[in-house]
A and B are shown apart, each in its own frame.
Chain A
Amino acid sequence: MNPPLQLVLTSADWLNLFGHYLLLSLMSVGGAISTTAEMHRFLVEQHGWLTQAQFNESIAIAQAAPGPNVLFVALMGWNVGMNAGSTAAACLGVLITMVGIMLPSTTLTYMAAQWGYRNRDLRAVRAFKQGMAPIVVALLVSTGLILGGANHRLATDWPIWTLSVVAGLIIWRTRIHLLWLLAAGAVLGWYQIV
């Protein structure tokens, strides 16, 4: 199957891609997903290295797949490489985008965490970690609400909302294994019940 785009990427282009992801990594407070608007501008609008459909599918597949959502970056790198014509280029794309998006943020986080751990008795460090706790709770609840509220029409979307709420209640009140609930969600979706 031919890729939807046929690109010729020079080593300067690959370097440009790498540099851009290094930069995005530093901006990715709240996760790589918060920089998707900028990725879209760079990959789809400015350079035309990905089609709109490839961009959307990369995010949707990584969201559904097991593992951290940041792996949508790997799929974008893969698709850029496939557009450049080969599986080898696709592997290079994965390597470049993933190392780019991970290296700066993990280095910074590791150093900050080690510093914080060594100085964990400092009043300021304790105040920071404990003072943020209510916001952490708020962010988790909000993420669930935003993801669950992505479907907007009450008349047709109430079954899927019900599924989200019931799943949330079960997780909150029981210790059932999460995979059972996910499997139930998949079955209900497969038969178009939600």
Chain B
Amino acid sequence: MIDNLSWVTAYPELLLLAMACVITLLDLSVKTPQRGATYVLTLLTLGAVAWLHAVYALGGESIMGFGGMIVSDPMGHWLKCFAALAVMVTLVYGRSYGAQRDMLRGGEWFSLSLFALLGMFVMISGHNFLVIYLGLELLTLSSYALVALKRDDGTATEAAMKYFVLGALASGFLLYGLSMLYGATGSLDIAEVVKAVAAGTERHQVLVFGLVFIVAGLAFKLGVVPFHMWVPDVYHGAPTSITLMIGGAPKLAAFAIVIRLLVEGLLPLAVDWQQMLAVLSVVSLLVGNLAAIAQTNLKRMLAFSTIAQMGFMLLGLLAGVVDGQGGNMANAYSASMFYIITYVLTTLGTFGVILLLARKGFESEEITDLAGLNARSPLYAGVMAICMFSLAGVPPLVGFYAKLSVLQALIASSHAGYIGLAVFAVMMSLIGAFYYLRVVKVMYFDAPAQTAAIEAGADVRAVLSVNGALVLVLGIVPGGLMALCGQAIAVLLR
């Protein structure tokens, strides 16, 4: 059933698809080493798409399209809007880095990024197992190619292989789990599945068996322990601009499919998947934080810190249903949504500074490469410090409110086990504070090891300043973004 409304819900995606093809073709005639024309056109496309999504999101309607295969709701549109912006910022930060490393010989970086974004869009709006899987594969296939973009580089190629093998395994897990559910419920449509599961006529063991594989697949994509092995290697091995492409926007899409599959599709099994998420988040917080301390490579450290941050985000998702009652759901899921959005914002700033400091022949990926940054450039040191304090969860930066929301959701459950989890999580963030502070220490307390001037285009300078300022400003007035997440989740749960 493809009616006119279906097409309306997919306008931004159609625009993106069309422009991705146009840009791929047009790029053939671009000859400049920095690919200025492609770059500008890509940014304009992303800006238009983000704007369209924001307009849709503000409409506040939840519409099904293409016979229930696609959903258009505020949560999806906001996540897609932020994902488009995140990709845009990634391209701004990464262009000169890529140009210096021969990664812009062709325009693949731009077109692959656009296709990856399209994959995220499909994942976020999919309301059918196969549509979600299709989006996921579009994203991951583009990502594998992106990681291998520096094709003569050993580490990058190794990272790409590792990513591909483990990613394919994860997709296999997810697909296997989905097929189990299809077998049990007879439908791929999320709305049908949830009805069938809620009816309680299917055998619980079969459903939970499928659920285990789905959760494992999702855990791979989110990069939480024990499915985290690829995260440090890929973060470290991939060129930094690609690391940001993988570590930024796709987290929003991964969050969306967790919500679509677990909350929208399998809410009647919440008791089961909440337990699994609890285990995942506890070990992620533990392993991520402890392993991050030992790292000397900044990208590896950030990879482990991401694992810990995702563990923290999961705490919000597991606090929704308490004793079979869903009263805490809106609170808990919007806390996680706020967490993931602010995490992506902060990550963009962090990697933006790393990319800025890299030069031709110098990667700037050891923590000590940041030494004395404050003496070289107080502005960039300030942005990095703000991001680090935010990731550590120190007020008045936005990361604090993310942690506050999640902890509040846990404690609001009034469940002794969940309050215990909250105490555990704050103790882990104390450990986290140590390695984030170490970065600040290196920048502010140590003498500069490099004296080379930091060159940055006006676009990078402006975007990075705005990015850092947002982490601070959203920390002083976080109400708006919180309300936005709250409304989006409220519409979803209606």
Tell me, yes or no, whether A binds B.
no
